């Protein structure tokens, strides 16, 4: 029998799709399949009571050629992960060395959260996480604390101990409220996920602490259904999850093209990179201490698509140029010219991934005098060309 075409392969997706993280993974997988398939994707409709079949039974029925697996109950999944077909694994407790894992660059996530809170004027910091059993919370805390310490500050830490309930703080709500009540005014708090950012916000509101004036909160994942429905919309570190789904499918395609009978001997992990902070009212600098600097930051944000200069900002604040320079650096840790340049480059990178405009069209739409000059600025900041960035982080 001749070798099957790639489109004939069956891919089992043991991913529930109940959370934004999982839905984004599935979206990236589907996009790869649409571009390079058709593939046959096999999933269990777990929310229908009659279809709650164990993964082992499903796999015997499906007989897939490869799998992408989200970690759930070990009693179901340990046997599956020992199968001899190519597998990509999305862990929640710890990555598995023998597999290709989908992991977030959690250290960088923590650093970006700390940088954002520092830039909006926070000088006291806190981290809300879960037990060190969960590697991603542990690493996010580490990245956050290291970045805060580089600013010359320390971090107050609250972590829920491991219990029977997976990722639950409900049994620790009294302890959490007491801990939040003891934090200094104008504390910048990073929660390990958007869900826990929401829990921290609700706990703050219950004890009468205002957001963001008393405590500014940032989460992780940019789950719009969580962040934008919160009483105070929550800022969040955005993750390029969809690209990871695309790369996971591409990895399996490579294994299948080679007619691989077993998983790679030395798997290479698929890394989800943080794309930046989506700022919302929970870290709004207009509600922090220096009103003039808050006004300057708001002006820069509102005109980010235009070629603004420091002189434009000087014109709208009640400060001399020198006073603006000094107070802006004291509030954000950055020179105002560097801040403007960084924010505009971040906006440019966002347009690279969210639009089909050419690099030249994006550059001219933002008022850069030359796409070549813009490309040089971009590469100096990101270490990669705009085209390389689009290819690396986009899915098309």
Q: Domain 106-239+277-284 belongs to what topology? A: Rossmann fold (3.40.50)
Which tens digit of pLDDT belongs to each residue from 220-265?
999 999 999 999 999 999 999 999 999 999 999 988 887 654 444 4
Q: What is the pLDDT of residue 163?
A: 46
Q: What is the average pLDDT score of the chain?
A: 86
- Please, which pLDDT band fits residue 392 given cuts at 50, 70 and 90? confident
Q: List CB contacts of 227: < 8 A, sequence separation 6 or more.
A: 194, 197, 219, 233, 234, 235, 236, 278, 280
The more confidently predicted of residues 210 and 8 is 210
Q: What is the pLDDT of residue 105?
A: 97
Q: Where in the chain do CATH 3.40.50.2300 domains reside?
A: 6-104+241-274, 106-239+277-284
Q: Pseudo-torsion of CA 240, 344, 144, 72, nearest 10°? A: -10
Q: What is the pLDDT of residue 231?
A: 93
Q: What is the pLDDT of residue 356?
A: 86
Q: What is the pLDDT of residue 52?
A: 56
Lowest mean pLDDT among 51-65, 329-343, 359-373: 51-65
Q: Given 1.10.10.60, 3.30.420.40, 3.30.70.270, 3.40.50.720, which CATH number is that of 290-393?
A: 1.10.10.60
The more confidently predicted of residues 389 and 142 is 142
Q: List CB contacts of 5: < 8 A, sequence separation 6 or more.
A: none
Q: Given 3.40.50.2300, 3.40.630.30, 3.40.50.300, 3.50.50.60, which CATH number is that of 6-104+241-274?
A: 3.40.50.2300
Which tens digit of pLDDT belongs to each residue from 110-164?
999 999 999 888 999 999 998 778 999 999 999 999 999 999 999 999 987 654 4
Percent of the chain with pLDDT over 70: 87
Q: How far apart are CA 352 and CA 349, in angstroms?
A: 5
Which tens digit of pLDDT belongs to each residue from 169-205?
555 678 889 999 999 999 999 999 999 999 999 999 9
Q: How far apart are CA 108 and CA 139, in angstroms?
A: 9
Q: Where in the chain do CATH 1.10.10.60 domains reside?
A: 290-393
- Please, which pLDDT band fits residue 98 given cuts at 50, 70 and 90? confident
pTM higher than 0.75 = yes
Per-residue pLDDT at 167 exceeds 50:
no
Residue range 75-91: mean pLDDT, rounded = 79
Q: What is the pLDDT of residue 334?
A: 85
Angle at which helices 241-257 and 20-36 cross, to 10°: 40
- Please, which pLDDT band fits residue 3 given cuts at 50, 70 and 90? very low
Which tens digit of pLDDT belongs to each residue from 281-297?
999 876 556 788 888 98
Q: How far apart are CA 244 and CA 106, in angstroms?
A: 14
Q: Taking the CB of residue 165, how many other CB atoms lie within 10 A of it?
A: 10
Q: What is the pLDDT of residue 280?
A: 93
CA neighbor of 308 nearest in space, from 334, 343, 277? 343
């Amino acid at each position: 029998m001749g070798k099957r075409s790639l489109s004939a392969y069956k891919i089992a997706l043991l991913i529930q799709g109940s959370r934004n993280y999982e839905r984004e993974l599935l979206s990236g997988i589907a996009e790869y399949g649409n571009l390079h398939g058709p593939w046959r994707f096999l999933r269990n409709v777990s929310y229908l009571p009659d279809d709650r079949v164990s993964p082992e039974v499903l796999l015997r029925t499906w007989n897939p050629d490869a799998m992408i697996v989200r970690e759930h109950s070990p009693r179901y999944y340990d046997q599956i992960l020992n199968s001899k077909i190519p597998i990509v694994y999305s862990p929640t407790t710890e990555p598995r060395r023998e597999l290709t894992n989908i992991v977030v660059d959690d250290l960088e996530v923590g650093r970006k959260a700390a940088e954002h809170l520092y830039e909006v004027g926070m000088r006291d910091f806190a981290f809300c996480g879960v037990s060190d059993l969960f590697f991603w919370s542990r690493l996010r805390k580490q990245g956050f604390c290291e970045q805060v310490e580089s600013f010359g500050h320390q971090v107050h830490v609250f972590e829920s101990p491991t219990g029977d309930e997976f990722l639950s703080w409900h049994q620790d709500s009294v302890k959490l409220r007491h801990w939040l009540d003891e934090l200094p005014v104008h504390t910048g708090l990073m929660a390990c996920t958007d869900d826990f950012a929401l829990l921290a916000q609700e706990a703050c509101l219950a004890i009468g602490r205002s957001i963001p004036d008393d405590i500014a909160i940032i989460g992780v994942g940019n789950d719009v259904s969580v962040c934008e429905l919160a009483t105070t919309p929550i800022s969040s570190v955005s993750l390029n999850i969809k690209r990871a789904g695309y790369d996971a499918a591409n990895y399996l395609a490579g294994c299948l093209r080679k007619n691989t009978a077993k998983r790679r001997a030395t798997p290479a992990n698929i890394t989800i990179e943080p794309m930046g902070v989506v700022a919302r009212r929970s870290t709004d600098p207009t509600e922090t201490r220096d009103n003039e600097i808050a006004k300057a930051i708001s002006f820069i944000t509102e005109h980010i698509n235009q070629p603004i200069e420091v002189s434009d900002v000087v014109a709208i604040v009640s400060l001399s140029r020198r006073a603006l320079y000094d107070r802006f650096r004291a509030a954000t840790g950055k020179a105002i010219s560097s801040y403007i340049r960084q924010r505009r480059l971040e906006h440019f990178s966002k347009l690279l991934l969210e639009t089909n405009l050419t690099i030249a069209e994006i550059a001219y739409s933002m008022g850069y005098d030359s796409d070549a000059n813009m490309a040089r600025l971009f590469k100096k900041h990101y270490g990669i060309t705009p085209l390389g960035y689009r290819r690396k982080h986009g899915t098309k």
